[in-house]
Amino acid sequence: MRLQVQKWGNSLALRIPKPFAEEARVKQGTVVELSVAEGKLIAAPVHRRRFSLSRLLAGVTKDKLHGEHDFGRSVGREGW
């Protein structure tokens, strides 16, 4: 597909056709990483990683666990 580069303020812009945007999962407000490789523009969406408790806990191993720490006696109303 051929597109025409348009002026937008002091910059240049391309409109992303809807089928391309849908396939790349890009919508208004999506952050993209723009780079140049061998004279070609490459725009790749930056998707935020979503974490779940089970996924985070899957990374906990015995060597990453630590023991209890004593931070001194209770102060104020924080007694156990």
What domains can you pick out in the chain, each with its CATH number? 6-62 (2.10.260.10)
List, for the chain, all residue ranges whose pLDDT scores fall below the cut of 70.
Answer: 79-80
Given a contact cutoff of 8 angstroms between Cβ atoms, the answer to whether 5 and 12 are in contact is: yes
| DSSP structure string for 24-36 | TT--TT--EEEEE
Report pTM.
Answer: 0.53
- Nearest 10 degrees: Cα torsion 49, 54, 57, 59: -50
In whole angstroms, what is the distance from residue 1 CA to residue 37 CA? 19
- Structure letter (DSSP) for residue 71: -
Identify the pLDDT of residue 15. Answer: 94
